[in-house]
Amino acid sequence: MIKFIAVIAGEPNSINSEIIVKAWKKIKIKNKLFIIGNYKFLKNQINKIGLNIKIIEINSLKQIKDLKKLYILNVPFKYKSLFENNVLDTKKYLFKCLDVAHDLAINKKIKGFINAPINKKIFSKKFLGVTEYLANKNNIKNKEVMMIYNKNLSVVPLTTHMEIKNVTNNIKSSLIREKILTLNRSYSKLFKKKPKIAILGLNPHNSENRKDSVENIIIKPTVEKLIKLGVNIKGPFPSDTVFNNKKKIGYNVIVGMYHDQVLAPFKALYGYDAINITLGLKYLRISPDHGVAQDIVGLNKANPQSLISAVNFLNKIND
């Protein structure tokens, strides 16, 4: 049985070191957790915040012995560059951390991994975020699914970190079909039950049901085809009403056309009590459902709850 869970330290200029230590102090499974990141930098940042904790540098998982200490699988890096905010070097460092985690997961050396938040500035048009980068490494482009999970409700944006002006041209029947099929298959495997899916329209009030609308030309016919394939899905629903209690009863997942259409109301409802799960990969990848919070770096004010939830969720999943 694979027991180790990796946490990628993520963005250097962030609250990540703080939430990692705070989470590690609270979780009960200290014997399963280790960190992927630069040891010297993490040690310096942890000491600067004043969070007293014993961390050990390792270069292999075989070096993990005392399971009550926090181990750092060291990723070599030009230490001073981090403090100089060298964007190019930081980008190389973060991608190296992701690659180390990917290799460990794909070779079944770990149960899965959690990446602490990363500043989206390191990504290009080719990869809009971590979700897309890992999808490419898993050879499943446009089949990956970003699911923000809470035990009461989950949400999925069909397009992720995409500018609004580009969303409409990317809403195609093939994209909806592939994403929903991944969601249906992966959710069923993860939770041992089929999801009940509500899908939203793209436009306000579903374009008043006009015949030439995206809702009627693309979304509705695709939903009908998915139903014939055995998917429990209904819609499209207008996005301005679907999150009220009467509409969401009976649905496990609400699927929106773009990021903030579902993320904004979801975060208003659940705050930090959520995690980001990438569905469709060959392993489990999770991240806290918040950003790098650079405005409170070093102030010892960061809330580790989402990271704690991510660790506990991954620990409960069977190998």
Instruction: Give 220-246 as a 3 state SS string.
Output: HHHHHHHHHCCCCEEEEECCCCCCCHH
Contact 177, 252 (CB under 8 A): no
Strands 233-237 and 33-37: unpaired
> Within 10 Å of residue 165's Cβ, how many Cβ atoms?
7
> Which residues, 6+ apart, have CB-to-CB distance to 195 below 8 Å?
154, 183, 184, 187, 188, 232, 252, 253
Band (84; pLDDT cuts 50, 70, 90) = very low
Average pLDDT over residues 302-312: 86
Highest mean pLDDT among 80-94, 171-185, 205-219: 171-185
Q: How confident is the model at residue 271 (pLDDT cuts 50, 70, 90)?
A: confident
Position 231 pLDDT exceeds 50? yes
Say what the pLDDT of residue 129 is.
Answer: 79
How much is the pLDDT for 248? 64
Mean pLDDT, range 242-257, rounded to an integer:
82
Place 87 in a pLDDT band, splitting at 50, 70 and 90.
Answer: very low
The answer to whether the CB of 127 falls within 8 A of the CB of 22 is no
Q: Edge-to-edge strands of the sheet including 33-37?
A: 55-58, 70-74, 33-37, 5-8, 112-115, 284-288, 275-279, 145-150, 153-157, 253-256, 197-200, 233-237
Instruction: Tell me the C-alpha distance between 59 and 36, whole Å.
Output: 10
* pTM (two decimals): 0.86
Q: Which residue did the predictor score with more confidence, 171 or 78?
A: 171
Cis amide prior to 236 (ω within 30 degrees): yes
Nearest to 93 by CA among 105, 80, 106: 80
- DSSP-based three-state secondary structure for 37: strand
Which of the pair, 49 or 131, is modelled with greater confidence? 131
The four Cα atoms 227, 233, 236, 239 give a dihedral, to 10 degrees, of -170
Residue 288 has pLDDT above 90, yes or no: no
pLDDT at 247: 60
pLDDT at residue 291 is higher than 90: no
* CA dist., res. 288 & res. 7, Å (int): 11
The reported pLDDT for the residue numbered 245 is 63
Residues 114 and 7: beta-carbon distance below 8 Å? yes
Average pLDDT, the chain: 85
Closest by CA to 319, choosing from 145, 112, 115, is 112
What's the rounded Cα separation, in Å, for the pair 32 and 315?
Answer: 9
Using one digit for the tens of pLDDT, what is the confidence trace for 173-212?
999 999 999 999 999 999 999 999 999 999 999 888 898 8
Per-residue confidence band for 221, with pLDDT thresholds at 50, 70 and 90: very high
Name residues whose C-beta falls within 8 Å of residue 138's C-beta, 6 or more positions apart in sequence: 144, 280, 281, 282
Find all residues with CB under 8 Å of 227, minimum gap 6, and list them. Answer: 233
Of the candidates 303, 301, 271, 290, which has an alpha carbon nearest to the alpha carbon of residue 116?
A: 290
| Domains in the chain with CATH codes | 1-139+315-319 (3.40.718.10), 141-280 (3.40.718.10)
Rounded Cα gap, residues 201 and 284, in angstroms = 29
Torsion of CA 16, 314, 254, 224, to 10 degrees: 140
Q: Six-digit token pair at 151?
A: 């035990």
- The pLDDT value recorded for residue 82 is 45
